[in-house]
Amino acid sequence: MDAQQTPVNSAAGYPGGMQIPGWELFYKGKVRDLYRKHGDAKQMLMVATDRLSAFDVVMNETVPDRGRVLTHITEYWLEQVADTIGAARISCDPAEVPGLPEEFHDVLRGRCTWTYVADRVNVEIVLRAYLAGSGFREYQATGRLWEHELPAALQNSSKLPSVLHTPTTKAEVDEPITWAQATELIGDPKEADVIHEVASRLFETAAARSAEAGVLLADTKFEFGRLNGQIVLIDEVLTPDSSRYWPADSIVPGQEQSIAWTRKSYAPTCVR
């Protein structure tokens, strides 16, 4: 399939799976396709498709330009937190990707990220400011949020006493673990301390910025890796796929909340 055959701007959206001469499509995730140039194991091209997934199920339908929106949001937040932590990504401009045929630039503009291949930390760093989703179900069953003691009589969507870390494994089905177990999986207590501190600071920054736009950041997850001896952010950051955002002016205690959308918060930075 060449660039002209790829339905990027069609009503059907871009389902992914495009073949690029000189590149290998070596992995298809729920939403992203990963490519590498033949003979280059240190860098890769991450392409956000318009595929839609929920609860680890990939839908048959696509949402046009969804991948571009996810890419823009991640790039926005990476720029916002650049003073706190670096990232594995190099550029989201296809013209800056070495060896990428020019005829594919328009197809991939806004949905691709050229990135270093980091040594992934095999823990998902989940932070929660509100009780929702699997966290609320755990509280209903045990009165706790896994290792964290909580007050009695909290409701769905209740604000937690503080932002809590509830890490999980990185697997086909992510399993909740304690921070002690997360530290063991990370393998270095000092690195674990850095990840814990940085994740907390990122959440605080993102929550404050979102609140300015009338949006509550209820929870999110971060993924980290090691690159040249440094801890860096990898994968998507603070997107609707990895975070729960609520409209701040319409929270109804005890109920599931609506998804928050805002036009003014995230200006596209990858469309050149």
9-13, 92-96, 108-112, 156-160: segment of lowest average pLDDT: 9-13
Predicted confidence (pLDDT) per residue in 18-51, tens digit = 999 999 999 998 899 999 998 899 999 999 999 9
pLDDT average, residue stretch 252-257: 83
Residue 165 CB contacts under 8 Å (≥ 6 apart), including other chains: 125, 126, 127, 179, 182, 196, 199, 200
Coil, strand, or helix at residue 106?
Answer: helix
Indicate the pairing of strand 89-91 with strand 112-116: antiparallel
pLDDT average, residue stretch 231-235: 96
Task: Write the CA distances from 207 to 18, 90, 113, 133, 215, integer angstroms.
Answer: 36, 26, 25, 18, 8
Half-sphere exposure (Cβ direction) of 79: Cα atoms closer than 13 Å: 13
Predicted confidence (pLDDT) per residue in 185-223, tens digit = 999 999 999 999 999 999 999 999 999 999 999 999 999
What's the rounded Cα separation, in Å, for the pair 180 and 182?
5
What's the rounded Cα separation, in Å, for the pair 264 and 196?
30
Q: What is the pTM of this model?
A: 0.88
Predicted confidence (pLDDT) per residue in 123-155, tens digit = 999 999 999 999 999 999 999 999 999 999 999
What's the rounded Cα separation, in Å, for the pair 177 and 193?
16
Query: What are the structural domains of the chain?
Result: 3-116 (3.30.200.20), 119-250 (3.30.470.20)
User: In the chain, where does DSSP find H-type helix?
Assistant: 66-80, 105-108, 133-142, 179-186, 189-212
3-state secondary structure 143-212: CEECCEECCCCCCCCCEEEEEEECCEECCCCCCECCHHHHHHHHCCHHHHHHHHHHHHHHHHHHHHHHHH
Predicted confidence (pLDDT) per residue in 53-83, tens digit = 877 778 888 999 999 999 999 999 999 999 9
What's the rounded Cα separation, in Å, for the pair 114 and 90?
5
pLDDT average, residue stretch 242-269: 70
Residue type at position 206 = A
Tell me if 239 sits within 8 A of 134, measured CB to CB.
no
Half-sphere exposure (Cβ direction) of 184: Cα atoms closer than 13 Å: 7
